[in-house]
Structure 1
Amino acid sequence: MGQLQPQKNVYAVIDLGSNSFHMLIAKSIAGGLQTIGRVKRKVRLAAGLDENNVLSTEAMQRGWECLALFAERLQDIPKKNITIVATATLRLATNADVFKQKAEQILGHKINVISGELEAKTIYKGVAHTSACSGKQLVIDIGGASTEVVIGQGFDALHYKSLHMGCVTFLERYFKDQKLSNENFAAAIKAASDVVAEIVDEYKATGWQIASGASGTVQAIQEIMVAQNQDELLTLDKLLAIKEQSVQFDTIADLELAGLSEERRLVFVSGLAILIALFESLDIKQMGLARGALREGVLYSMVPELHNHDIRKRTVDGLMNRYHVDQKQACRVAQLAEQLAKSVMGQWQSIDDNAIALLRTVAKLHEIGLLIEYKLYHKHTAYIIENTDMPGFSQSEHKLITAVANEHRADLVKNSFAHLGCHQVLAECLTRVVRIAVILSMRRQDDVLPAIDLSVNENTLTLTFDGDWLKYHPLMASELQLESKLQAKVGWKLIVK
């Protein structure tokens, strides 16, 4: 057999963290990135650092064994498409060179030990490329031996700091006896607050509109909250409640919280203590989970065609290309839906500029399910959207887009938006508008419609056509009549005249 050819559009990032080693493999496709492989191993490198920052042979051995696994996967990827970064533990270790030398031999590749500042900026870049925040964003990433705190805007980090505290080092220091006591928590929170003190004034003065957590600790807390039927936004009250639940258990080995995975358990309480200190010191009101972090930041830096400033556009265009959507029809429905929504914008409080952007997204993607089959294509569309990563959209926006796509045609189901909580009303409004736009675009031609007007009075939508156009278009008239009946079934009133 001949030599296998490396795939030019495949990229790999390896992140040698203080708690875990990660490998992310992605393919550049249809103007976006598709993850095709992820390998993660808990190495707990930071646990091998002694008080003089000498890394133990046991910890190094754990790291080398993990990298031997990763090396196998790197053989098929072009050398220039591989980046390997190491963070806090290898910055701190006085004998890091010993580890690095053997690691580079195993991987056949250079390892970049990056500074805390560069790590913070790269984490921010990973978050910025996978979320859409128009204002200033606070990003926090609690690692094994360092915690990065960044305020940025757009793609630029404005303030960035790497703080010497992490869930592995704090576990060794403040929970060494493995006891879940109030004393251990208090000591860890106080120590973390002392470390955070140096950035408090500068960060509070800068301010931010949205806070995101890019670490396993934040994800673990979110999973616990979901298991306890709470929404996914972190607040100080929720963190303190989880701390109270934790101290009911004797030791870390006994800790059993609904939603807490086995692999997170060991470093969970130390990460929680650090997060409580950050919430208290910086006066953080609420925080969501970021989609990207260090690995995504490195990845987006490597793929030049992704340096596109409109992340949402990149995501939507990529999906339309991948599922061979009729672009003209998608834009036709999107323009019509936007026109209809703008005519009721004043009367429907929930419709603002972001709502219209989400409506355009649904309209552009509504036909991706046609690639599977026609009869239930709206269900296929919703399934594809729900199970696809959508950089640029928050978790709640992603759920809203999925729900509206699922109900954009055919029978409506009563209370189908109840799971969206505070976004339920908006989802109903967008669904009513997009359903009308899809019907009005059914001829898939431009300039076939007369002047139309949509108005709203409380819960009643009135769609008015110019002159007697409907009389000469009986199919359209009957489709709109049927739509009026379908909406009435779920308590919505649509009058066509």
Structure 2
Amino acid sequence: MPDLERYAALDLGSNSFHLLLAEFRDQRMVRLHTDRSMVRLAEGLDEERNLAPAIAERALAALHRFRPVLTELPTDHIRCVGTNTLRTAANADGFLESAESILGVPIEIISGIEEARLIYSGAMAAADGPPRLRCIVDIGGGSTELVRGREVPHRLQSLYMGCVSFSKRFFADGILSTNTVNHFERARRAARAELQELQHLAENAEVVGCSGTVKAVARVLNGGELSAIKREDIDKLAEQVAGARHIADLKLPDLDEERHPVFAAGLAILHAIFCELDIQSMQVSPYAIREGIVHDLAGRLHGGDRRADTVATLMHDGKVDAAQARRVGDTALDLLNKLRPDTPADQRQRLRWAAQLHQIGLALSHSNFRKLGAYMVEQSDLAGFSKNEQEHIAHLVRNQRGRIKPRREHYGFRPNPDLLLCLRLACIVHRDHTDRAVNDLELKARDDRYRLRIPQEWLEKNPAIEDLLYQEVDHWQSQPLMLKLDAV
């Protein structure tokens, strides 16, 4: 199998960083190399959600170790995702900049719901037998994901509880119980409170657990094997841990030393899930988010991009005029080809999606459709998209016409004015929802301005568009690159 069919997935989790190198053979994924570093990123967050420098350095050192595996792969065969801690860290920008310079690929911060979707995809890749209703459980360092589905996920949940965050909250000094307070019981009750109204997720479903906490509990209960976790066994284990005085007192068989400090917190969450969802048995999956990322990557490159399905669903639900979305998208891309013929494929695709969604807010309001559309794109849980991608598309949707609203740039968000100009011009050309060719238009970029050259005859045929174009020139006067219109 050529290297072009190899993929790498990096999961920058709150407890550990994981790397997976895999390839597909006869449409079957084969894991070639795995690596893990227990960085406990969530441990480094202070009360103001700032990441401690020492923890950041520990995490960057792990990425240096991962880097050699990535050097021979095309960048579009690599996907690196950041989860709960990087979603919440107030000072994540500096860390992300350093991390990306080490890895040589962008890091995508994903929502909890997108994390759940990828976990489900990974677990399903390892599932045997005919499709059946399943409930997938994954306890991470900073969040816990639960998914109910059959062939596709039907319900996705991401809860703000994880083995590292609960360790900091309930077992910061390592004490499990005292004469007056049982901290393990407090942690379990807190987890059960988070699970309220989710009891139905496991109803009539096969329950499957993924990742470190579930695997650690399975090994402790089953002599080192990843066999099913039975209710009566985890009840006894939880009782044993709840009766211990200190984490250091836990002498459990087949427990990885690196997992030891967060084991009690993870067990409290897992046992709460068993109790609250009335689970009697949980199978253990060898796959999780990393395998889901690899399958997602392969789909993007072979015509199965989940993001395209998400956009199509949004267009349908928002009653978007598909013909107008096509017109604007085609013209925007034609103009971009004239302006920057070497624009990367991901930027072109971003422009296409923005054109498809530029009128989505009309289903709610005619006067505020741009603002509402941008809000919907940025704040919704969009399957397949990173938070950065949503922010970029929302910026385009918000600024498709009128005054260009400034927005603070930050790491991961550097708006591309080329895309914005081409979208805005395409919206002007097709403001009346009419097909109109732009073959005779020339669009170039100079050092300090864009230049749009239009035949006078074309303008005379479209007088309303001429006025809109001169208004557009005015809107770009305050931008770093101004727009000049030449009628020839």
- What band does the TM-score fall into relative to the shorter chain? 0.5 to 0.7
Q: Structure 1: how far apart are the matches of 2:295 and 2:94?
A: 30
CA contact (8 A) 2:226 2:284 kept: no
What amino acid is aligned across from residue 194 of structure 1 in structure 2? A
Q: 1:169 aligns with which of 165, 171, 175?
A: 165
Matched-pair contact (CA < 8 Å) for 1:18–1:44:
yes
Which stretch shifts more, 216-225 or 297-306? 297-306
Of residues 150, 154, 165, the one that matches 1:153 is 150
Aligned residue in 1 for 2:182:
183
Compute the displacement of 1:294 (Å). Answer: 0.5
Q: C-alpha separation between the residues in 2 aligned to 1:256 and 1:246?
A: 10
1:257 aligns with 2:256: no
Structure 1 residue 305: Cα displacement: 10
**CA separation of 1:56 and 1:29: change in aligned 2, threshold 3 A:** same
Q: 1:81 to 1:131 in 2, by over 3 A?
A: same
Map of 1:281-430 to 2, 5 A cutoff?
281-304=276-299
Task: Tell me the secondary structure at the aligned position of residue 303 of structure 1.
Answer: helix
Counterpart AA for 2:263: F
Q: Residue 196 of structure 2: SS of its match in structure 1?
A: helix
User: For the residues of structure 2 that align with 1:302 and 1:247, how far apart are their CA atoms?
Assistant: 42
Residue correspondence of structure 1 range 482-497 to structure 2 within 5 A = none
Does 1:108 find its partner at 2:108? no
The aligned amino acid for 1:89 is: T
Residue 273 (1) aligns with residue 272 (2): no
Residue of structure 1 equivalent to 2:10: 14
How much does 1:198 deviate?
4.2
Deviation at 1:254, TM superposition (A): 3.0
Partners of 1:138 and 1:208 within 8 A in 2: no
The farther-off stretch of 176-185 and 61-70 is 176-185
The 2-side partners of 1:55 and 1:193 are apart by 28
Q: Sort the Cα spacing of 1:174 and 1:305 in 2 relative to 1 into closer, same or farther, 3 A.
A: closer
Match of 1:142 among 139, 144, 150: 139
Render the CA deviation track for 1:214-243: whole Å, top value 9, x for unaligned.
121111111112229x99322332112112
Q: CA RMSD in A?
A: 2.3
Q: Which 5+ residue runs of structure 2 have no aligned equivalent?
A: 305-488
Query: Is the 1:175–1:184 contact (alpha carbons within 8 Å) kept by the matching residues of 2?
Result: yes
Structure 1 stretch displaced more, 60-69 or 22-31: 22-31
2:211 pairs with 1:215: yes
- The alpha carbon displacement at 1:29 in A equals 2.3
- Aligned mates of 1:120, 1:21 — CA distance in 2: 17
The number of aligned residues is 299
In 2, are the aligned partners of 1:135 and 1:208 still within 8 Å (CA)? Answer: no
Contact 1:122–1:297 (8 Å) recurs in 2: yes
- My pick for the range that moved more, 143-152 or 100-109, is 100-109
Q: Structure 1 counterpart of 2:201, which letter?
A: Y
Counterparts of 1:111 and 1:308, CA distance in 2: 23
Paired letter, 1:83: R
Structure 1 Cα separation of the partners of residues 159 and 302 of structure 2: 29
In structure 2, give the amino acid aligned to 1:253: A
Write the deviation string for residues 381-404 of structure 1: whole angstroms up to 9, x where unpaired. Answer: xxxxxxxxxxxxxxxxxxxxxxxx
1:91 and 2:90 aligned: no
Distance 1:226 1:284 in 2: 18
Secondary structure of 2:3 counterpart = coil
C-alpha distance in 1 between matches for 2:148 and 2:266: 20
Q: What secondary structure is seen at the aligned counterpart in 1 of 2:21? A: strand
Note the C-alpha offset of 1:75. 0.8
Deviation at 1:43, TM superposition (A): 0.4
In structure 2, the CA distance between the partners of 1:257 and 1:231, relative to structure 1 (3 Å rule), is: same
Structure 1 moving runs of 4+ over 4 Å: 305-309
Counterpart amino acid of 2:297?
M
Shift of 1:28: 2.2
The whole-number CA distance in structure 1 between the counterparts of 2:67 and 2:272 is: 39
Give the AA of the match of 1:96.
A
1:263-293 Cα offsets, whole Å, 9 max, x none, are 2111111000001111111111210101211
Contact 1:31 1:305 in 2 (8 A): no
After superposition, residues 73-88 of structure 1 pair within 5 angstroms as 73-88=69-84
| Contact preservation (8 Å) 1:17, 1:89 | yes
Give 3-state SS (helix, strand or coil) of 2:185's partner: helix
Letter in 2 for 1:301: D
- Indicate yes or no: 2:241 matched with 1:246: yes
Name the CA shift for 1:265/1:157 in 2 (closer, same or farther; >3 Å). Answer: same
1:57-88 deviation digits (Å, cap 9, x = unpaired): 11111111111111122111121111101100
- Name the CA shift for 1:293/1:208 in 2 (closer, same or farther; >3 Å): farther
Is the 8 Å Cα contact of residues 131 and 291 (structure 1) preserved in structure 2?
no
* Structure 1 residue 308 displacement after superposition: 13
Q: Kindly indicate whether the alpha-carbon contact (under 8 Å) linking 1:300 and 1:306 is maintained by their aligned counterparts in 2.
A: no
Q: Measured at CA, do residues 197 and 307 of structure 1 come closer, stay the same or move farther in structure 2, by a change above 3 Å?
A: farther
Contact 2:159–2:194 (CA<8 Å) still a contact in 1? yes
Q: Secondary structure at the match of 2:268?
A: helix
Aligned partner of 2:227 among 232, 251, 257? 232
CA deviation after TM superposition for structure 1 residue 134, in Å: 2.5
Distance 1:277 1:248, change over 3 A: closer
In the superposition, the TM-score normalised over structure 2's length comes to: 0.58
CA distance in 1, matches of 2:61, 2:183: 33
Post-superposition offset of 1:27: 2.1
Alpha-carbon shift at residue 306 of structure 1 (Å): 11
CA drift of 1:9 comes to 2.1
Match of 1:203 in 2: 201
Question: CA 1:72 to 1:194, structure 2 compared with 1: closer, same or farther past 3 Å?
Answer: same
**TM-fit CA distance, 1:139:** 0.4
Taking a change above 3 Å as real, the CA distance of residues 231 and 215 of structure 1, as seen in their structure-2 partners, is closer
Shift of 1:153: 0.6
| Structure 1, unaligned runs of 5 or more | 1-5, 310-497
1:163 counterpart letter in structure 2: L
Cα drift, residue 249 of structure 1: 4.2
